[in-house]
Homo-oligomer: A and B are copies of this chain.
């Protein structure tokens, strides 16, 4: 974007049926979830599809990409950690404490993954081992309509957009403090 005044011409076109019109771009790779439940990793220099990441059972509903690690949340209620260079799935965040319905949003750093869901919870996981650590939020209305739509964390705080599909939970922003 530094030299955006002097751009060249149209460079690459990837015909692609993707979901929710969103994708991740780190300057080198474009990653996007497809309607066939796969996730494609594209090289923007060559236009090649480097990897087709298989394993999720439904639609990709949230993604974050940094330092060649992709974490994908899915409507199948699981979250997967991928190495996009090798194309390997490193971890699947599931097990007995997994989300009970679609993942809505996620964020990660080099220690933790935070995930939110249609089930009204926000969960904390170990990014390296994939182990569940604890629920950060568990709405009383979880399971009867309460949803955590979106989360954003800083080093010391977590902000959650909360609501419901059926009026059981008032729309609000929650802030949790980690100081």
Q: Indicate if the CB atoms of A13 and B174 lie closer than 8 Å.
A: yes
Given the complex of chains A and B, what is the CA–CA distance between A145 and B105 in angstroms? 29
Contact of A7 among B107, B154, B178 (CB under 8 A): B178
In the bound complex, CA of A167 to CA of B7 (Å):
29
Copies of this subunit: 2
- The dominant DSSP class at the A interface is strand
Interface size class of chain A, counting residues whose CB lies under 8 Å from the partner chain: 35 or more
Chain A positions within 8 Å of B, measured between CB atoms, are 1-18, 21-27, 30, 32, 42, 44, 47, 107, 109, 111-112, 114, 124, 133-134, 136, 149-150, 152-159, 161, 163, 170-179
Enumerate 14 A-B pairs (CB-CB under 8 Å) in ascending A order: A1-B109, A1-B111, A1-B112, A1-B158, A1-B178, A9-B176, A10-B176, A12-B174, A14-B175, A15-B172, A21-B149, A26-B154, A27-B156, A32-B161
